[in-house]
Amino acid sequence: MGGESTTRTAPRGGGASTGPVGSRTGQRLSGLAVALGMVLFLGGFAWGAVVYLPYTVPTSSMTPTIDAGDRVLAQRIDGADVRRGDVVVFKDATWANAPMIKRVVAVGGDTVSCCQNGKLKVNGKVIDEPYLPTGTPAEFSNFPTVTVPEGRLFLLGDERDNSVDSTAHLTDAAGGTVSRGAVDARVDAVVWPMNGMLERPTGFETLGGLSSPGPLRTVVALVIAGAVLILGGAAYGPVAKRAAASRARTGTEPAGAR
């Protein structure tokens, strides 16, 4: 009526505006980051729970490598995979009714004795043990040469004068040795206090290969990467809104106020 046109101009873009394309893309990417982060974060924890066992060390027999009260992570392994120099968690009924942590110094077929100039001797070779308390000999009381039966292990604590280890069981039927099958896990790291991964016992390299570190570093990297992605993705929304609000205020500011 009155000849007025009823034509309306359609919004640019052919329909109702749903926000900048960049904003929609950012939301999708942030959602993807959170989803991927959850997979990495939870996957890392799940992997760690399957591979590692936590232990609290009750005594100081492994000082200074591991002190009383320290919390360690030990990788579940088969006893057949134990190597010289490994710090292992085992349980032997003739030793104690609880898990114990000691260092493997000899395996089946080895001969072990102490001491030559204050140092341990395995298969006729003097073993350098830098993990022992500074200035102390390998053993305060000598013990005769022991031949370790096949399938068994000879274990010592790093605090040699304060450790109930194979030397305290030399008169047992097994001559102080423990079955490989008694081993449940190999200590990979001290996590409280955060002393990190145990150093490789290089003094045993001349006798054969050493154990490789477990996947703890990879597990930790996955958990950290997942946490970063989750936090970054979750932070996108609030940051984008604040940036949009800032742009809006700048765009409506009177020209004379500049």
The SS3 call for residue 83 is coil
Residue 7 CB-density burial (10 A; 0-12 exposed, 13-18 middle, 19+ buried) = exposed
Mean pLDDT computed over 134-158: 87
Domain layout of the chain by residue ranges: 23-48+219-249, 57-211
Q: Give the up-direction half-sphere exposure of residue 173: CA atoms within 13 A in the CB hemisphere.
A: 3
Q: In terms of pLDDT, which residue wins out, 25 or 256? A: 25
Question: Is 223 a residue whose pLDDT tops 90?
Answer: yes
Question: Is 109 a residue whose pLDDT tops 50?
Answer: yes
Q: What pLDDT is attached to residue 247?
A: 76
Q: What CATH number belongs to 57-211?
A: 2.10.109.10
The b/e string for 89-122 (b: 16+ C-beta within 10 A; e otherwise) is bbebeebeeebbbbbbbbbeebebbbbeeebbbb
77, 189 contact by CB (below 8 A): no
Residue 44 β-bridge partners: none
Question: Is 170 a residue whose pLDDT tops 60?
Answer: yes
What percentage of the chain reaches a pLDDT higher than 90? 66
What percentage of the chain reaches a pLDDT higher than 70? 87
pTM of whole model > 0.85?
no
Mean pLDDT over the full length of the chain? 86
